[in-house]
Every structure is written in structure tokens, then in C-alpha cells.
């Protein structure tokens, strides 16, 4: 048997030989498929149940967000970014706002920074909870989905109370915040922290030592740190492969350098390690939230920003650690009120490149597990 990694890229013209001879069977998964998390289409080339290679076909959800940006003012474009990774809308907004702030050379006041951190970390927990539920569902455990959605609801309630929206929040403004934290915001956040801590143990009880879960995830979709770096994979996937890279630590933004937290890493880079890493990340996020909510300073929530934003001519690349990995914004300003070009570096899109490598030589059922463990959001992949 030749090493499947040495095979040429998927050749879709390969004739579908007889099922028996089954050297190569080409199967189309998606775009309408329960396990592809949206409208991802995967063309699999199989030898029996073994994956020889696969190709992702994307673009079914393309809305031209980057192009739209060129015809909107900086302020007007802000809500659009929420629609990319819609399960982590707050993170998207944070990245965009900070990028434009850098372009304008302003900095949000400390109080705004703290509230931003709290909301972003809450959103990270929400994103991971959603990931856990759907991932477990893909592998066949249906119950965790309901547990996680129940607890995610509490986060969405806080969002709703804060800004009125639950999913596409548009929580931040360039230069700070639009809304002051409502009365009892701190109390709500503290309550949530104490509420969700035992719940995370509950998820782990269901899965972490479950024999079938271990068999389905250990050694599945292994990717080495080197390959991760070569492919540009970031986020929990990279960390599970043993690379300690988190932008919150590596290039601190907002005021993450004021908080004490750890970056979990895995060893084997398999699906199980990614699961563990995300579970620990949720706990670490709670740690950050606890510290942040204790230390919210008083003061203004909005920096001095001109009504009509005309950033100086120039360009800026700013990236943050979104729940799925490095989310970067590259904005070119030509001095007018509208950006000349906005380019988004979405973590899901980049991480999806690793799918082929991770699925080679695995079984079809593992493809499902691997898609789940990559934690992609098609809105962000296609933009």
C-alpha cells in the first residue's frame, strides 16, 4: 500500500470502480449533512472505510463581508463582523474595534477594557460550550448537548441584559463601549461563575473517563505541532499539539497582561487532547472573569473619538485570540471615512486546512469526529 500522504491531490475524475474492488470510492458529504456544522461540503476518497484523502468545498455561505467593508464607514461596518463567527460575536467585535483603535491611535479607557475582557471571556465559554455539545453529538453522545445549551443560556442572558442582543451582540464600539454596565452586572457575572463551575465538572463526568469516548477520541485526528505551525493552525488545536501559543500571552492585547491565567497544552495532538484543552480553557476563562470582575475600575467608558472617523493613511494588522484561534484584521486606510481594504484572518478557515492531513488514514467515522474537534463555523470560513 502506498503511503496515502504521497498521493496526488484528490482526483475527482477517478472512475468509481466496483464497490468490491473498492480501491477508490468517492463519496460526497454535505453540504446538507448533519455532521458538517453548516454548509461544508467534503469530498472523500475512500478505500473501504479508510480515508485516502479529502477535499473541502466551501463558499456556500459567502456573503462578501470583506467587500462590503469597503463601502461602509468604520462605524457602520462594526455590526457586520458579528456575523462571521456568530457563536463568538463578541470576540469578532473586539478584534475589529481594537484594530481600528490602533489605526486611530486611541486606546479604550481602562473601565471599558475590563468590561470587554469579561464579555469576551464569557463568549469564549459560550463558544466552547456550543462546540462541546455539537462535538459530542457528532460522536453519538446526545445528552451533553442539552447540558451545555442550558448553561450557555445563562451567558446569553447576561449579554441580553447588557446590550439587548443575544447572539450577534455588537457589544463594543470603536474607542470603548456604548453602554455602561447595567446595575447588578458584577453580581450576575459572579453568580454565573459560581453557577457554571460545577457544571463543567458535570460535562467532564459524562465524557472524560467514558470508555467509548476515549476510544473514539484518543489517537484520532492526530496532528503534530510542526504540521500545525506549517499550516498556520492556531487556537486550541495548536495548543493541544503541544505548542504553547496564545495571543493573550504572546502579544497581550486589551489588558490581558494584568490577569493571571495559564495556557493549557496537550501532548499528543489528538481529539482527546483538544477536548481536554478546551475544558481547561473554560476554567481558565472563569479565572480571568473572576479577577476582572473584582477589579473593574471606575471611569469613562469611551475614549475621545471623532464623530467622523478619518484614520490617517496607513495599514494595521491586529489579531486577538478568539475561541477558535487567532482572529486577525488587516485594515488599510486611505484617509477617507471608509476603509480601503479589510482583510480578515479567520481561525476557522485556516484550521480547516488541516482537515485533510488529520483525516488521512483514518476511518469515515473519524472524519466526523475531526470536523467536530476542529470547531469550525462556516460563517467565518466563507465570510
Partner 1 sequence: MHALVQYIESYLSSDKTPGTAGNWFWATVYVLLVFVGLSIAVIAMNWLERKILAHMQVRLGPMRVGPHGLLQPIADALKLLLKEDIIPDGADKVVFWIAPFIVVLAAFTVFVVVPFGPTHAITDMNIGILFMLGVSSLSVLGIVTAGWASNSHYPLIGALRSSAQMVSYEVAMGLAVVSAILMTSLNESSTGTLSMIGIVEAQKAQGEWFLFKFFPLGIIAFAIFAIAMVAETNRAPFDLPEAESELTAGFHTEYSGFRWSLFFLAEYSAMIAVSSIAVTLWLGGWLRPFPNLLHGTTWDLAFSFIPGIAFLLLGAMCFYNTARMPKHPLFKIQTIGLAGFGAVLALIGLVMFLPPVRERVGDIFWFSAKVAGFMYLYIWYRGTFPRYRFDQLMKVGWKVLLPTGLALLICTALWAMRSEVWTQVVVPVGMGFADFVRRLL
Partner 2 sequence: MHAMTDISTLHYLVLGAALFLLGVIGVLTRRNVVIVLMSIELILNAVNLNLVAFSRYWQSIHGPSALHGQVFAIFVITDAAAEAAVGLGILIAFFRNKETVNVDEVNLLKW
Partner 3 sequence: MNPQIAGNPPVATPYFFYGLAAIMIIGGILVITRKNAVHSALALITTLLAQAALYLMLYAPFVAGVQIILYAGGIMVLFLFVIMLISIERAEKERQFNKQWLVGIAAAAALGGLFITVYTATTKGRVLFPEGRTSYVDMQNTQGIANLLFDQHGGTYMFAFEIASLLLLVAIIGAVVMAKKRI
Q: Which residues bind partner 2 (CB under 8 A)?
A: 18, 20-21
To the nearest whole angstrom, how small is the minimum distance from the Cβ of residue 48 to partner 3? 10
The alpha carbons of the chain give a radius of gyration, in whole angstroms, of 21
- Rounded to whole angstroms, the Cα distance separating 181 from 115 reads 8
Should residue 20 be labelled a site residue for partner 3 when binding is judged by CB under 8 A? Answer: yes
Minimum Å distance from CB 364 to partner 3? 18
Q: How far is it, in rounded angstroms, from Cα 221 to Cα 281? A: 20
Site string for partner 1, 303-342 (x = CB under 8 A): ----------------------------------------
What gap in Å lies between CA 4 and CA 16, rounded to an integer?
Answer: 18
Binding string, residues 129-168; x marks residues near partner 1 by CB under 8 A: -------xxxxxxxx-xxx--x------------------
Rounded to whole angstroms, what are the CA distances from 106 to 57, 114, 175, 311? 40, 16, 7, 11
Cα–Cα distance measured from residue 371 to residue 268, given in angstroms and rounded to the nearest whole number: 18
Q: Does 200 bind partner 1 (CB under 8 A)?
A: no
* Complex with partner 2: residue 1 or 20, whichever CB lies closer: 20
Pick from 96, 185, 213, 253 the residue near partner 1 by CB under 8 A. Answer: 213
Residues in the chain: 383
At closest approach, how far in Å is the CB of 4 from partner 1?
Answer: 17
Q: Which one of partner 3, partner 1, partner 2, none interacts with residue 146, CB within 5 to 8 A by kind?
A: partner 1
Min CB(20)–partner 3 separation in Å: 4
- Quick one: which segment of 13-21, 98-106, 196-204, 224-232 binds partner 3 (CB under 8 A)? 13-21
Sign of CA dihedral 244, 246, 251, 256: negative
> Which secondary structure element, helix H or strand E, spans residue 335, and what is its range?
none
Query: Can you tell me the distance from the alpha carbon of 228 to that of 240, in angstroms, rounded to the nearest whole number?
Result: 10
Asked whether 359 and 55 are in contact (CB, 8 A), the reply is no
Query: From the CB of 236, what's the least distance to partner 3, in Å?
Result: 38
2 counts as binding partner 3 under rule CB under 8 A: no
- Comparison of 18 and 209: residue with beta carbon closer to partner 2: 18
CB 91 within 8 A of CB 322: yes
The set of cell numbers assigned to 253 is: 492585547
Q: Distances from the Cα of 198 to the Cαs of 26, 154, 274, 279, 365, in angstroms?
A: 45, 14, 21, 12, 31
Q: Which is nearer to partner 1, 11 or 153 (CB)?
A: 153
Binding site for partner 1 (CB under 8 A): 19, 27, 33-35, 49, 136-143, 145-147, 150, 206-207, 210, 212-213, 215-216, 363-366, 368
Amino acid at each position: 500500500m502506498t503511503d496515502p500522504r504521497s498521493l496526488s491531490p484528490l482526483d475527482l475524475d477517478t472512475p468509481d470502480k466496483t464497490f468490491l474492488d473498492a480501491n477508490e470510492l468517492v463519496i460526497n458529504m454535505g453540504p446538507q449533512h448533519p455532521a458538517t456544522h453548516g454548509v461544508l461540503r467534503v469530498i472523500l476518497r475512500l478505500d473501504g472505510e479508510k480515508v485516502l484523502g479529502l477535499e473541502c468545498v466551501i463558499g456556500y455561505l459567502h456573503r462578501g463581508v470583506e467587500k462590503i467593508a469597503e463601502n461602509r464607514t468604520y462605524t457602520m461596518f462594526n455590526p457586520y463582523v458579528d456575523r462571521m463567527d456568530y457563536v463568538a460575536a463578541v470576540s469578532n467585535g473586539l478584534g475589529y474595534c481594537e484594530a481600528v483603535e490602533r489605526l486611530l491611535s486611541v486606546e479604550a479607557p481602562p473601565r471599558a477594557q475590563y468590561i470587554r475582557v469579561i464579555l469576551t471571556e464569557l463568549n469564549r465559554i459560550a463558544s466552547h460550550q456550543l462546540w462541546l455539545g455539537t462535538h459530542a453529538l457528532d460522536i453519538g453522545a446526545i445528552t451533553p448537548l442539552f447540558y451545555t445549551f442550558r448553561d450557555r443560556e445563562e451567558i446569553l442572558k447576561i449579554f441580553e441584559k447588557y446590550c439587548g442582543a443575544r447572539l450577534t451582540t455588537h457589544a463594543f464600539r470603536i474607542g470603548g463601549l456604548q453602554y455602561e454596565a447595567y446595575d447588578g452586572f458584577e453580581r450576575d457575572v459572579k453568580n454565573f461563575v459560581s453557577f457554571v463551575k460545577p457544571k463543567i465538572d458535570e460535562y467532564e463526568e459524562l465524557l472524560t473517563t467514558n470508555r467509548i469516548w476515549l476510544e473514539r477520541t484518543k489517537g484520532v485526528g492526530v496532528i503534530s505541532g510542526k504540521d500545525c505551525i506549517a499550516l498556520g493552525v492556531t487556537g486550541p488545536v495548536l495548543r493541544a499539539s503541544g505548542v504553547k501559543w496564545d495571543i493573550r500571552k504572546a502579544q497581550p492585547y486589551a489588558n490581558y497582561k494584568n490577569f493571571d491565567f495559564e495556557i493549557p497544552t496537550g501532548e499528543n495532538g489528538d481529539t482527546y487532547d483538544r477536548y481536554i484543552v478546551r475544558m481547561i480553557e473554560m476554567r481558565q476563562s472563569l479565572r480571568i472573569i473572576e479577577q476582572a470582575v473584582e477589579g473593574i475600575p471606575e471611569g469613562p467608558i469611551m475614549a475621545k473619538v471623532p464623530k467622523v472617523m478619518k484614520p490617517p493613511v496607513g495599514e494595521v494588522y491586529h489579531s486577538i485570540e478568539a475561541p477558535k484561534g487567532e482572529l486577525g484584521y488587516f485594515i488599510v486606510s486611505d484617509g477617507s471615512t471608509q476603509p480601503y481594504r479589510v482583510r480578515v484572518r479567520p481561525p476557522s478557515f485556516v484550521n480547516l486546512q488541516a482537515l485533510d492531513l488529520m483525516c488521512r488514514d483514518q476511518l469515515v467515522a473519524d472524519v466526523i469526529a475531526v470536523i467536530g474537534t476542529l470547531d469550525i463555523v462556516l460563517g467565518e470560513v466563507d465570510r
